[in-house]
A = this chain, B = another copy of it.
Amino acid sequence: MKRIDQVKGTFDQDKDKRRTAPSEATVKRLPRYSRYLARLISGGTLRISSSALAEKMGVTASQIRQDLACFGDFGQQGYGYNVRYLHHKISRILGMTAGHRAVFVGMGDAARALLASPTFVRGDVLAVAVFGAEGVGEMAEYEMDDLKQVLPTLGATLAVLTCRQGAEDILKTLADAGIQGVLNYTNTPLVSPCGEMTVKNVYLDDPCLLLCYHMEKAREDVE
């Protein structure tokens, strides 16, 4: 496998200029770019043109260029993208290099599934502790009653909520301890009690509903 520093190139990503703010749709494509680039890296690919990247990912080259242009100038005319560099930059944009530490409140199936995902397996986000349930791997385990006292000592930034009981009180405790983001897997929408903490309500059946929509549509198109 060739090493990245064998290839020279200039990248002007740090130009301090106003860029188009990324749309929500652009942001939502970033994890996909990141995943695909990670696969290219493990396959030993050093660089790729936007058209080759586009073809493999099923989007247009101009879409990729437009998406990435929101964040910087990552490509080079006639060279394409430096895969490792682009992957690193996207990881940084996604906050994957920020050293996030996650606590788990409850350990429902969704939490276990999340722990088995690349983001946690690779340690991009570190699972540090679980409250009110048995942990997985090397996580510290605490009683739910210890949440208020222990949480501020853990340096956690993220919380994963699968415990439905007392969810609103738990959210307040999380906010008081300086947690900045919460993944809510309780199937009940929750609202952040303060502006400093973002709550993301995750609905695991959404992909299933969207798949059923596309199946329905495929059937209509045939009829």
Contacts and interface: CB of A to CB of B under 8 A. Distances in A.
Interface in A6-30: 25, 27-28, 30
Protomer copies: 2
Q: Which size class do A's interface residues fall under? A: 35 or more
Contacts of A96: 209, 212
B108 A210 contact: no
Contacts of A117: 187, 203-205, 208
A210 B109 contact: no
B183 A93 contact: no
Interface string A194-215: 0010101011111111111111
Given A117-B204, A181-B214, 9 more contacts: A31-B205, A114-B204, A117-B187, A117-B205, A118-B187, A118-B205, A157-B215, A180-B218, A183-B211
27 contacts: A28-B210, A30-B213, A31-B209, A31-B210, A93-B213, A95-B213, A96-B212, A98-B215, A109-B112, A110-B110, A112-B113, A113-B185, A113-B204, A114-B204, A114-B208, A117-B203, A117-B204, A120-B205, A180-B219, A181-B212, A181-B215, A182-B211, A183-B207, A198-B218, A200-B207, A200-B211, A202-B207
